[in-house]
Amino acid sequence: MDTSTLDLDKMKASASNACRLMKVLSNPDRLMLLCQLSQSEKRVGELEEMLGIVQPTLSQQLTVLRDEALVVTRREGKNIYYQIASPQAMAVMEVLFQQFCGPQEGSTP
């Protein structure tokens, strides 16, 4: 089989995966959730308080992140903790933080 075909097939699959990740990140609530989780594991209540996202919306967005395997959960007593599970999502969050939240070029620290 032609190796250029294999590379193209792999590139198409990778592009599809990248588009899927970008689609999930295109929602501001999910992006903010991942931003917080990129710093450390958080309880659901902490996320709700920090971001001001009401419970039904928070649950819905966390479900999307779980379904896409971007986060994992663990239970401790009555608390559910979330953390980022996807190295690709973490890498994208780091770039987004650097580009949009880090010190801006030309600004004084």
- 16-to-22, 39, 88 alpha-carbon distances in Å: 10, 27, 14
The per-residue pLDDT for 6 is 72
Residue 98 within any structural domain of the chain: no
- 83-to-4, 60, 62, 74 alpha-carbon distances in Å: 38, 16, 11, 9
Residue 10 within any structural domain of the chain: yes
The per-residue pLDDT for 102 is 79
Domain count, the chain: 1
Tokens of 88: 């690709």
- 15-to-22, 28, 64, 69, 90 alpha-carbon distances in Å: 10, 22, 20, 17, 18
Residue 28 within any structural domain of the chain: yes
The residues that bridge with 83 in the sheet, in sequence order, are 72
pLDDT digits (tens, 9 = 90+) for 9-60: 899 999 999 999 999 999 999 999 999 999 999 999 999 999 999 999 999 9
Domain CATH code at residue 22: 1.10.10.10
Tokens of 12: 């198409």
Predicted TM-score (pTM) of this structure? 0.84
